[in-house]
Structure 1
Amino acid sequence: MSTSELVTRAAEQVSTLMRDELALARAEMVAKGRRAGAGGGLFGGAAVLSLYGLGLLLALAVVLLDLVWPLWLAVLVVLVLVFAVAAVLALLGRRRLRAATPLVPQEAVSGVAADVDAVKTAVREGRSS
């Protein structure tokens, strides 16, 4: 096999390898995007629940607690409970978002680095023989 054929073959293999690595990077980014979307959805859910919770739970709970406690204490207790639930949801959403980062396709990057090292090694070994 001639040198030009070897170079042509190597170029074709590198091209195929790059396409495969890009496909891996794309798949990894899609998976991370889904996780980030889930975390963002939880944050959105926390916001919606906070708003509706403040409107509905406050009204009902304050009325019920007002039967037993002074009005100011009933309002305070209900507010603290609603914000505590919202804080828990926000923390869960933040955890999901952190699990989706960094947004760099790490598997693809390490695969490309390994491929580059393999090509460098093959070139060195080819020169020495």
Structure 2
Amino acid sequence: MFGSRTDNPEQPQRASIGSLLSSLPDLIRRLIRGEIALARAELTAKLKAAGVGLGILAAAGILGFILLEVLIAAAVLGVATALPAWLAALLVAAALLVIVAVLALVGVRALKRGVPPVPEETIKNVKSDVRAMKGESNDPAEERL
């Protein structure tokens, strides 16, 4: 009893296999909860980016509708009067066309960032966790040896 591990404070105590195995379900449960939280955060970010893209595309659609109205007004003014009135309407329509094109390009880019809403980082982490549980290496350099 006098030289046992429990009497020597300098030696770290090791947990028994039984206690390690009994703590395994709790560790797995915490790991799964952590991966779910990561997936939720990743999906939220991607859906937010997609929402911004959809909002910008909606603005481009509204301005596109206004563009159509201005073009119709330009056609009416062009027939009704001489050059100055319809030329002014066409210039306004051209400016709206440029704005619509820019908004549409920005909206498409923002939408592409959020779609598809796949939690890529979480999938990579889960695959790594599965490899670790199987006892496989996570280091690509070790796998080549």
1:7-61 Cα deviation digits (max 9, x unpaired): 221111011000001001001111111100000001100011111233357647x
Q: What is the TM-score normalised by the length of structure 2? A: 0.65
The match for 2:62 among 28, 34, 48 is 48
Task: State the percentage of identical aligned residues.
Answer: 37
2:127 partner letter: A
Which region of structure 1 is more displaced relative to structure 2, 89-98 or 73-82? 73-82
Structure 1 partner of 2:35: 21
Highest relative contact order (Cα 8 Å, sep 6+), 1 or 2?
1
1:70-129 Cα deviation digits (max 9, x unpaired): 95x77766655544432332222111111112311011111111111122228xxxxxxx
* Contact 2:67-2:93 at 8 Å conserved across structures: no
* Contact 1:58-1:75 at 8 Å conserved across structures: no
2:54 partner letter: G
1:8 partner letter: S
2:110 counterpart of 1:96: yes
* Contact 1:39-1:95 at 8 Å conserved across structures: yes
1:26-105 matched pairs, under 5 angstroms: 26-56=40-70, 59=73, 68=83, 79=93, 81-105=95-119
Rg: which structure is higher? 2
Structure 2 gap segments, 5+ residues each: 1-14, 137-145
C-alpha RMSD of the superposition: 3.3
Structure 2 partner of 1:127: none
